[in-house]
Structure 1
């Protein structure tokens, strides 16, 4: 009986002790919670449109510590880490009694610590609360913290925090920073050899750094591989091959692309730790390489800026603000894509487009390139020579100044700048000064970004897109922001002319339309080109606006344009075909009033039409025509009717002339088959109207 009472008393005492222990732990757990911030201090990241790292910034304490998710890490690395460091990780609650007993036995038998018996939870506890010594008290505190951590975090969260904070040598912390620095890749792409090295590094990071202690790194990696082979996690032959590989012998810098856009993103939204840009990493790498190599050829103090955008969306896929962000000699910290400079002749295509849109000229219209006086303004060509009579097409392709100013004088500078404002771009003029003819030759200010925005209209059927790169504050740029700069027909005519500009010598053709420009005093060289989707603008010059003798758009900037397009990795997109109702008439097909454009001093005046523009009234837009009824025996061809316009008129069906010029406002057409057809009429002033009909 006495023995039973003693056993019961012992059991009750044990139960009471257990209750007290649990109560004590609960009290201690509440009174002394672990330092687990809901948001770890990590490096700010700037990533591209697909999530690839463009640039990272060190933490305030100078560490490279990149946030990591488990799905960003190779699964075999995770398996190896757990097998090597904490094989019962998924089962224990923070401590592994078997591992602790093994460590204690090894300590007793060897008189020194052979293995610590620490779980990954205990190691995380040490990382978030570094111990001051390797005492038993510090170990018990670590065990307590590990249990606390397990009560608050899931196993995946524990792994993610460990892989974010683990030391990998120097100021590298976390698997992503280590993988990028030692192997130049994200941890999802680690090889077996690389995974083994990164499993071993956190235990003795300074002694095993592959860039400073390659032998120590090789031995540690071999131990990990041997244990993995013994545990059956990897094949023995595979482990032997991995052990035979040379370990990484250098530490690479972390990606440092798109400096200006990255700093702008941090400046505009400093609270965010991950900034996603519209930039595409491969494109950005290509553009920066071209800019760096071009600047080296151009010489000191000259820099290069580029913007490559998708004309359909306005998204910037690559932006280079300077040839080298850290080059003080070139003022590399200045983002030259945003600095307002003289655009030279790069605005001329819009002058020609507006003149074509208003029916003043066509591509084959003759225009004079001779000395001229525009109320005291006397433009001269870049080479100080004159070509005499040329076609409008030749005048634009040769970038002749007098023809461009003649057309600008006819359409009006205010009308041109109004079109620019519709596209979201305001030219910078001297305070209080109205737009004058000089804007046609660069007598106004515009940034490279704004110039590319204007050219998105030429690549996008006349509708410009507001540019954005993702660094802007939320709501600063409307994704659907568009504006019409030219009509679709005039846009195609301009693009067709620019597509015929000869590429620079020694440059492979690309199938792009492009224009160059040089500002007064050889301060800025420009080249802007586009295909059926992408627009690329290039600026070359001195950031301090100093003169650079010999600098020109064709010689200095155009070769960079073609090289950057080639290096971007983007597949060329063919320029679009002529829109319905638009064609390129030969000189013989031109209305008499469009044979020649001239000013009053030449005896010929370009008179703007006063009649309403032509309008097809029959058949109406979208009409369905019964082919059988129209072509039955004895039936007459379909009668076409129009209102307005100036005679004579030329009718076209699907871009092909129906007959000679006619002065009447009626014509006839015999459909030659079923399907959709586009009927177009062009009057003597070059104005056109079109309807689309369906022949059945």
Structure 2
């Protein structure tokens, strides 16, 4: 030890110099050798390539390989560096031979660089060759050998070697020249790629075929002589043709790749896409596109989710259309008018709050609210219709009236909880049209909500009658990502399992397309909760369905917003949705959440909680259904023995009076309800000798609001058409007296309609019945 200290004291300058050289040597190699931008590469869940986005510098350069296939390793080592595993960064023998041959030839005819040195040269962007540069490379190569294993150095070379044109790296070259993954290459293909980096500017597929083939075959012969391949493999390999032209990269999920590239630039991303399902969905989309474009509908989108994992299984952002028809628009994430797709959400929330029961009658009559007059698609009225039927038939007027009753702001807050990212305006901005497509949402977000509904019911049983705090979590397209459903809590954050189950069950009764009308009669059929939507002007067609395992969402339309008369959710989007469900594994229906449902007596006619006087049935309803109203439409009346007339004790002996229960709707509802329900019976009139104890009721059918405007249209011979005033009365025998500006004009009986044709101006319409009831309306004619 003393001698060591004495040596250090006597050789301070030498020791310091050596230490400085060691420090310089240690830090001479950059921490990251290659700073070049790379392509964004996206693979399916099985690691099959879905697509890629070119690097910012215009080069097709994939991220570094995880490993180098054995065939390519054998080929590249035999062609470039047979002693790779024996040297420490440089090969003195090769250097001496190369130097000697180059001197004799008076030009560079042979290189003595090892693969390690070539990695250094590639990282230094191929500096001009000189002996000084060679010395640098040699020093850096030895440093690289200290830092990395041989396998890692080989991966660096295979990932950054040039392969002709703008193709960099083995993986990209494999796809570009052979349309295969590197691990799928044959011996001949591996040998072809092994010789390309040697002179990429001169030799690449499609040109100089003879020279390329000679190099490849010499390498194959060397492999054969070294017994790395057998004779049969050798003969078959040299007989293989060279690639004639570059292959295009896969475009299996183009729009997903583009979307991922925005968020994960320069990375290799393994997506959750099921490659086999994706390809089948692509084929289905192509078939439907060929049909749809006959109606000048050029764009669509399809999204398939796994309910349990919330992973994206298939993602089609657009149809296989052209640039003229916006082929690059990603319609999965684009915001579009929702049409009727939000109606199930309102239905579920009203069940949850106890404001509605599934079969409860809701009004379907001419409606005007603050100047807004919704219309049903059929332009007809049912008078009164069960809420679940109104949902499955997608009736607009009941939906608007239900929204008004539930509360516009309250529903807007619910949508906030669902995190529909494109619905950002306050409730007053949308108004009641919110439920009919007055707002916009994306297919991505709507499928998320349907998956949340399916998950709420599925998890309720799994969690022993509890809920995940974040059930409506956003889905993921990353294979390694696990969505966070949050904590397990005893009460739901948004909607309970009972209300959700009843909603999904109702949606199974939506009328399927004509080709699927008999689905219930086939054993192979599965129940699907689904809803369609068609936006105003037939610009957007939706169909979204859910089972216990999967959610399938479809949007069809034109990306530029052009509407088509035949474009509807049922006719255009739902056939595509059902075709996608047909290629998915069949799912069992949801288990009924018994712990979140209660059994109650429900009025058979009205769907409300039954009164003692109602004819009732036992039904399972949501827990909060107990808060719902009791039936308002059944009343007890007194009739005489023949039951033809109502009587009272003023005109009939109590012994001759019967008490009966009668189903009675308000006049306007009854007017339309009777047209569709022939068994509806109006209240019997009072017998002539009896005094009616309560006034009969009447209501306007037109005009419905107190102050209305109407324009007289012209008919045959350019004559102005009349305005037809309509009234309904609960007493079929009642007389109604009509007045125009306090001037008597006519009397009506039984059927109360009156045509008038006054000049332009403002008029007061007054009606009085023979019971003394009076109604007024103001009508402006222009």
Any conservation in 1 of the 2:534–2:542 contact (CA below 8 Å)? yes
1:86 aligns with 2:77: no
C-alpha distance in 2, partners of 1:78/1:306? Answer: 42
1:593 aligns with 2:607: no
| 1:58 alignment counterpart | 54
Question: Cα–Cα, structure 1 residues 61 and 411, in superposed 2: closer, same or farther, change >3 Å?
Answer: closer
1:533 aligns with 2:549: yes
C-alpha distance in 1, partners of 2:329/2:624? Answer: 52
| 2:760 alignment counterpart | none
The SS at the match of 1:298 is helix
- Per-residue CA deviation, residues 370-409 of structure 1 (Å, 9 max, x unaligned), is 5555676543322334567765554333323334345445
| 1:575 alignment counterpart | 589
| 1:422 alignment counterpart | 417
C-alpha distance in 2, partners of 1:427/1:294? Answer: 28
| 1:307 alignment counterpart | 303
- Per-residue CA deviation, residues 229-256 of structure 1 (Å, 9 max, x unaligned), is 1111122212222333333333123345
Match of 1:346 among 341, 364, 373: 341
- Please state how far the C-alpha of 1:593 moved relative to its aligned partner: 3.0
Question: Cα–Cα, structure 1 residues 213 and 380, in superposed 2: closer, same or farther, change >3 Å?
Answer: farther
Question: Cα–Cα, structure 1 residues 481 and 308, in superposed 2: closer, same or farther, change >3 Å?
Answer: farther
C-alpha distance in 1, partners of 2:267/2:106? Answer: 47
| 1:487 alignment counterpart | 496
The SS at the match of 2:180 is coil
Structure-to-structure mapping, 1:103-114, within 5 angstroms: 103=98
Structure-to-structure mapping, 1:22-421, within 5 angstroms: 30=25, 33=28, 37-48=32-43, 50=45, 53-71=49-67, 73-101=68-96, 103=98, 115-129=110-124, 142-256=137-251, 262-263=257-258, 265-268=260-263, 273-274=267-268, 279=273, 290-291=284-285, 294-295=288-289, 297-299=291-293, 302-323=298-319, 327-357=322-352, 371=366, 377-386=372-381, 392-421=387-416
Question: Cα–Cα, structure 1 residues 354 and 432, in superposed 2: closer, same or farther, change >3 Å?
Answer: closer
- Per-residue CA deviation, residues 230-287 of structure 1 (Å, 9 max, x unaligned), is 11112221222233333333312334565555555555566x6445655555555555
C-alpha distance in 1, partners of 2:414/2:307? Answer: 17
Unaligned runs of 5+ in 1: 1-18, 599-603, 605-611, 616-642, 649-696
Unaligned runs of 5+ in 2: 1-13, 458-467, 520-524, 609-613, 615-621, 632-782
Any conservation in 2 of the 1:489–1:579 contact (CA below 8 Å)? yes
The SS at the match of 1:199 is helix
Any conservation in 1 of the 2:386–2:607 contact (CA below 8 Å)? no
TM-score with structure 2 length normalisation?
0.63
- Please state how far the C-alpha of 1:447 moved relative to its aligned partner: 2.8
Question: Cα–Cα, structure 1 residues 231 and 241, in superposed 2: closer, same or farther, change >3 Å?
Answer: same
| 1:673 alignment counterpart | none
C-alpha distance in 1, partners of 2:239/2:20? Answer: 50
Range 404-413 or range 549-558, more displaced: 404-413
- Please state how far the C-alpha of 1:161 moved relative to its aligned partner: 1.7
Any conservation in 2 of the 1:35–1:129 contact (CA below 8 Å)? no
- Per-residue CA deviation, residues 608-667 of structure 1 (Å, 9 max, x unaligned), is xxxx9799xxxxxxxxxxxxxxxxxxxxxxxxxxx999999xxxxxxxxxxxxxxxxxxx
C-alpha distance in 2, partners of 1:557/1:132? Answer: 59
- Please state how far the C-alpha of 1:347 moved relative to its aligned partner: 1.6
- Please state how far the C-alpha of 1:91 moved relative to its aligned partner: 1.2
C-alpha distance in 2, partners of 1:430/1:24? Answer: 68
- Per-residue CA deviation, residues 512-569 of structure 1 (Å, 9 max, x unaligned), is 32111101111211111112122222222333433332211111211232344456xx
| 1:446 alignment counterpart | 441
Any conservation in 2 of the 1:345–1:442 contact (CA below 8 Å)? yes
C-alpha distance in 2, partners of 1:225/1:419? Answer: 68
The SS at the match of 2:572 is helix
Any conservation in 2 of the 1:518–1:526 contact (CA below 8 Å)? yes
Any conservation in 1 of the 2:40–2:268 contact (CA below 8 Å)? yes
Question: Cα–Cα, structure 1 residues 511 and 180, in superposed 2: closer, same or farther, change >3 Å?
Answer: farther
Question: Cα–Cα, structure 1 residues 207 and 573, in superposed 2: closer, same or farther, change >3 Å?
Answer: farther
TM-score with structure 1 length normalisation?
0.70
Structure-to-structure mapping, 1:453-492, within 5 angstroms: 453-461=448-456, 464-469=471-476, 480=486, 484-492=493-501
Any conservation in 1 of the 2:42–2:270 contact (CA below 8 Å)? yes
Any conservation in 2 of the 1:279–1:469 contact (CA below 8 Å)? no
C-alpha distance in 2, partners of 1:432/1:571? Answer: 41
| 2:771 alignment counterpart | none
- Please state how far the C-alpha of 1:201 moved relative to its aligned partner: 1.8
Any conservation in 2 of the 1:360–1:597 contact (CA below 8 Å)? no
- Please state how far the C-alpha of 1:174 moved relative to its aligned partner: 1.0
| 2:567 alignment counterpart | 551
| 2:513 alignment counterpart | 504
C-alpha distance in 1, partners of 2:211/2:475? Answer: 49
C-alpha distance in 2, partners of 1:534/1:96? Answer: 60
Any conservation in 2 of the 1:454–1:485 contact (CA below 8 Å)? no
- Please state how far the C-alpha of 1:178 moved relative to its aligned partner: 0.7
| 2:731 alignment counterpart | none
Any conservation in 2 of the 1:197–1:221 contact (CA below 8 Å)? yes
Question: Cα–Cα, structure 1 residues 251 and 374, in superposed 2: closer, same or farther, change >3 Å?
Answer: same
- Please state how far the C-alpha of 1:168 moved relative to its aligned partner: 1.0
Question: Cα–Cα, structure 1 residues 33 and 439, in superposed 2: closer, same or farther, change >3 Å?
Answer: closer
Range 84-93 or range 169-178, more displaced: 84-93
The SS at the match of 1:591 is strand
Any conservation in 2 of the 1:168–1:178 contact (CA below 8 Å)? yes
- Please state how far the C-alpha of 1:436 moved relative to its aligned partner: 4.6
Task: Give the length in aligned residue pairs.
Answer: 579
Any conservation in 1 of the 2:443–2:553 contact (CA below 8 Å)? yes
The SS at the match of 1:225 is helix
Any conservation in 2 of the 1:322–1:332 contact (CA below 8 Å)? yes
**Rg (Cα) greater in structure:** 2
Match of 1:433 among 428, 437, 443: 428
RMSD: 4.5
Question: Cα–Cα, structure 1 residues 420 and 485, in superposed 2: closer, same or farther, change >3 Å?
Answer: farther
Any conservation in 2 of the 1:613–1:645 contact (CA below 8 Å)? no
- Please state how far the C-alpha of 1:595 moved relative to its aligned partner: 3.0
- Please state how far the C-alpha of 1:433 moved relative to its aligned partner: 0.8
- Per-residue CA deviation, residues 273-304 of structure 1 (Å, 9 max, x unaligned), is 44565555555555556556645543367422
- Per-residue CA deviation, residues 61-112 of structure 1 (Å, 9 max, x unaligned), is 32112232352x3223213322332121111122223334555676689898
